[in-house]
Structure 1
Amino acid sequence: MNIHSTNKRQVGLIFGKFYPLHCGHIYLIEKAVSQVDELHVFLGCEQARDLSLFENSHMPRQPQVKDRLYWLQETFKNRRNIHIHVLDEENIAYYPNGWQDWSDRVNAILQKHQVTPTVVFTSESQDAKNHQLYFNCEVKLVDADRQFINISATKIRSDPYQNWQFIAKAAKPFFIKRIAIIGDKQFDKLPKQLANIYNTQYVSNGYINYIQHQHLHNNKLVLNESDYIRIALLHAQRLDEAMPLANQIIFTSLDFQTLHDFYRKAFEKSSKILQKLEDNYYFDQVIDASCFKQSDSSLTVFEKAVDMINKQLS
């Protein structure tokens, strides 16, 4: 699709890594789009640099380009005058060098879509002169002193959970810590208690729910292979539904590795579906009976579990 511009139209540009997308970025984009007819947002990516940012962060896992692109697309969905582009910055000299090569890449994308920019919006005052030079248009600074929103992606990467309120709504599920608490009946209440304490979501055990709904009157219950698959898919669905509502962490009493282990013992083989769920639904921590002594009281178990969770968020 070609996006046409004329000299009468105001066309803005914004550049960023959005690593991760946060309220400051959103403010920049929203203020910019209120001043132009169309806005082009460039998501810069470079493998080695992005990996280095992650390795020097306290993020639970590394955001990929597809994750960052989704955060932007989801945040600005149905906004027809906001256009998002992925900008490949591989083999370009690192900032503050490489301006010519970098701007050539940007201009190639602009030419492809027949776009002529009239203004660049940025929060980085040190970039203003080069933006004006290489794109031959006006540059407008937005909240350069961070007075309106005092946050940066660097601060979030260094401590995402202390800066939770600044992470974009679309990006928060990526950072949610998944904690499974499994074991005998003495653990039934613990994940619910922890969910209450941390003001977040508890996802009930799909295994128990499935048995209650599908085999209510079966006193001699033996699960077959399809039962395990249905249990797993039900649990995955409930996790997906709860993630956008969770606050930093989510609790459940079943993880997919444990369920898959039950399946292997029952049928002496693996399941491709269960393996895929196990791979795609990573749990940051699984707390089971082996984490505690048999002599531990309910209070001791409770206090040890809280300490484990606090370490996850530190």
Structure 2
Amino acid sequence: MARLATDVPRIKGSGRVWPACGSRLAMTLGFIVGKFYPPHRGHKHLIESARRQVDHLIVMIAAHPEQTIPGELRKAWLEEIHPDCEIRLVPDELENDSRQWADFTIRYLGRAPDVVFTSEDYGPVYAELMGSRHVMIDRDRTAFPVSGTLIREGPLNHLDMLEPCVRAYFVRRIVLIGAESTGKTTLAQQLAEQFDTIWVPEYGREHWERKLAGRTLSDPPPSWSHDEFVDIAEEQQRRENLAARTAKGVSWGLVGASVRENNTVEHLDRLFATAKDRKFPVFISPHYLFPFDQAWQFGGLVEHSMLDEREFFRPDPLSVDGFANSGADWLDRFKPYIEDGETIVVSPHKVWGPQTNDLVLQLRKLRINKVILAGMLANLCVESHLRELLEQGFEIAVVKDATAGPRHPTIGDGYQAAVTNYGFLANDVLTTDHAVKLMGN
């Protein structure tokens, strides 16, 4: 909000001074026009900033038939991302002339909009020709340094700038085909681990195993119907499309470098293995978001980002539909440690607040007062738990290379900030080598 105020200190018109932010503009109709080719985080920032300031916002997509992403698809994306806006699609048939577009807009809408929001240099002239007020938002792309051209030139390099529905369009999909028991599942798991992404199991196999459940060798083999094959194909496609929205991890663009530099996954694996070998109790504090969380009305940057991108999303607290291999699932290489029947998985943690699960209760019930803390993310869940456990009287050592943090283009390096705080707060800050040695003594 402060950034918007810097972009547009005041809006002047008709002898009145209009606040650019902090309160709604006293207007009925706001208007945005663009190609949205494709929609990205910068567009989302523009639309959300505009929507907060008007009673009704129309977003008009100008699509040309030669563009490779169909206009109808872009319209569907924006309708999903911004359900509180009216999304319209028009053919891009005019020259790049502000007068032509101003005349067309008035004819198309049946009136001039009260305010036009843009992040482009043409905006002031275009708005003035319609007699509309203009708001410039983030012209220098400081909030989100991205453009449609940049996305089209290398979409896989900018997945963090795309909403899940748009990401699913660009991510590459690999299909493994082969006879039964030829290693497809194992290969899929290994490829997913190699490329830091997710994989989708074969639904047909799951369906077949359900058909066999409860049967004996003396029972006749189950029959198949044509409708079953259709159901299998549709469910497989649904799961693949859902997985494509979080492929590579929706936060990988922010945290990937830190994970690689710290060898976080490998170090966590060593901690798991040593703890299990030395009979240390292991606790997992998971993070999930549910549909009702999407209705929250206020929060910070991380909270909004996770809600918007449906990170760690589960469709229902009582359902695991679509959970396997999603962003909310355990990493495959950690599943043997977590699902061994001995690891304690506490209730979900919400990242931005410490007192949101029963970790302290579980530790108290086992009379544990010393904790080795590791996992993701360094400056969020890990630091949140560190502060909570210290305040509850526990002695805490943090393993600094068995975690990682985001690097935000404007906010800074979350991992380095966390490590600094660990030094101030924790009883000890360890490396994985040191932690493994201590557990082995």
> Could you tell me the TM-score, scaled by structure 1's length?
0.62
Question: Could you tell me how far apart the structure 2 residues matched to 1:170 and 1:225 are?
Answer: 31
Larger radius of gyration: 2
**Which digits, 9 at most, give the CA deviation of each residue in 1:32-80, with x for residues without a partner?**
22232322211111213x2xxxxxxxxxxx3211210011111111x2x
Please tell me whether the aligned partners of residues 198 and 247 of structure 2 are also in contact (alpha carbons under 8 angstroms).
yes
Equivalent positions of 1:210-249 (< 5 A) are 210-216=207-213, 217=215, 223=224, 225-247=226-248
Question: Could you tell me how far apart the structure 1 residues matched to 2:112 and 2:108 are?
Answer: 11
Residue 190 of structure 1 and its aligned partner are, at CA, apart by 0.7
Residue 195 of structure 1 and its aligned partner are, at CA, apart by 1.9
Question: Could you tell me how far apart the structure 1 residues matched to 2:193 and 2:74 are?
Answer: 31
Question: Could you tell me how far apart the structure 2 residues matched to 1:152 and 1:223 are?
Answer: 50
Residue 236 of structure 1 and its aligned partner are, at CA, apart by 2.4
Please tell me whether the aligned partners of residues 101 and 126 of structure 2 are also in contact (alpha carbons under 8 angstroms).
no
Please tell me whether the aligned partners of residues 161 and 248 of structure 1 are also in contact (alpha carbons under 8 angstroms).
no
Corresponding residue SS for 2:173? strand
Kindly tell me: are residues 156 and 13 of structure 1, through their superposed partners in 2, closer, same or farther at Cα, counting changes over 3 Å?
same
1:88 lines up with 2:91 in the alignment: yes
Question: Could you tell me how far apart the structure 2 residues matched to 1:241 and 1:129 are?
Answer: 40
1:76 lines up with 2:75 in the alignment: no
Q: Counterpart in 2 of 1:183?
A: 178
1:123 lines up with 2:129 in the alignment: no
Question: Could you tell me how far apart the structure 1 residues matched to 2:145 and 2:127 are?
Answer: 26
Question: Could you tell me how far apart the structure 2 residues matched to 1:196 and 1:64 are?
Answer: 33
Question: Could you tell me how far apart the structure 2 residues matched to 1:109 and 1:181 are?
Answer: 49
1:147 lines up with 2:150 in the alignment: no
Equivalent positions of 1:15-30 (< 5 A) are 15-30=33-48
Percent identity for Structure 1 against Structure 2: 27
Question: Could you tell me how far apart the structure 1 residues matched to 2:128 and 2:235 are?
Answer: 56
Q: Counterpart in 2 of 1:205?
A: 202
Kindly tell me: are residues 40 and 190 of structure 1, through their superposed partners in 2, closer, same or farther at Cα, counting changes over 3 Å?
same
Residue 8 of structure 1 and its aligned partner are, at CA, apart by 5.7
Corresponding residue SS for 2:75? helix
Amino acid aligned to 1:209: E
**Which digits, 9 at most, give the CA deviation of each residue in 1:136-195, with x for residues without a partner?**
222221111111211111100100011111112331122232211122513330111222
Q: Counterpart in 2 of 1:308?
A: none
Question: Could you tell me how far apart the structure 1 residues matched to 2:162 and 2:92 are?
Answer: 24
Q: Counterpart in 1 of 2:129?
A: 134
Greater relative contact order, per chain length (Cα 8 Å cut-off, separation 6+): 1
Kindly tell me: are residues 221 and 75 of structure 1, through their superposed partners in 2, closer, same or farther at Cα, counting changes over 3 Å?
same
Unaligned runs of 5+ in 1: 1-6, 51-61, 250-314
Kindly tell me: are residues 226 and 131 of structure 1, through their superposed partners in 2, closer, same or farther at Cα, counting changes over 3 Å?
closer
Question: Could you tell me how far apart the structure 2 residues matched to 1:128 and 1:42 are?
Answer: 14
Q: Counterpart in 2 of 1:107?
A: 106
Corresponding residue SS for 1:84? strand
Equivalent positions of 1:278-293 (< 5 A) are none
- CA RMSD in angstroms comes to 2.6
Corresponding residue SS for 1:24? helix
Q: Counterpart in 1 of 2:356?
A: none
Question: Could you tell me how far apart the structure 2 residues matched to 1:159 and 1:223 are?
Answer: 44
**Which digits, 9 at most, give the CA deviation of each residue in 1:10-53, with x for residues without a partner?**
532211111111010111111222232322211111213x2xxx
Corresponding residue SS for 2:144? coil
Question: Could you tell me how far apart the structure 2 residues matched to 1:109 and 1:191 are?
Answer: 51
Q: Counterpart in 2 of 1:194?
A: 191
Corresponding residue SS for 1:85? strand
Unaligned runs of 5+ in 2: 1-24, 251-441
Corresponding residue SS for 1:245? coil
1:63 lines up with 2:69 in the alignment: yes
Please tell me whether the aligned partners of residues 168 and 241 of structure 2 are also in contact (alpha carbons under 8 angstroms).
no
Q: Counterpart in 2 of 1:287?
A: none
Kindly tell me: are residues 229 and 130 of structure 1, through their superposed partners in 2, closer, same or farther at Cα, counting changes over 3 Å?
same
Question: Could you tell me how far apart the structure 1 residues matched to 2:55 and 2:109 are?
Answer: 16
Question: Could you tell me how far apart the structure 2 residues matched to 1:225 and 1:117 are?
Answer: 54
Corresponding residue SS for 2:164? coil
Corresponding residue SS for 2:199? strand
Question: Could you tell me how far apart the structure 2 residues matched to 1:228 and 1:38 are?
Answer: 46
Kindly tell me: are residues 181 and 248 of structure 1, through their superposed partners in 2, closer, same or farther at Cα, counting changes over 3 Å?
farther
1:32 equivalent among 50, 53, 68: 50
Number of aligned positions between the proteins: 220
Please tell me whether the aligned partners of residues 176 and 248 of structure 1 are also in contact (alpha carbons under 8 angstroms).
no
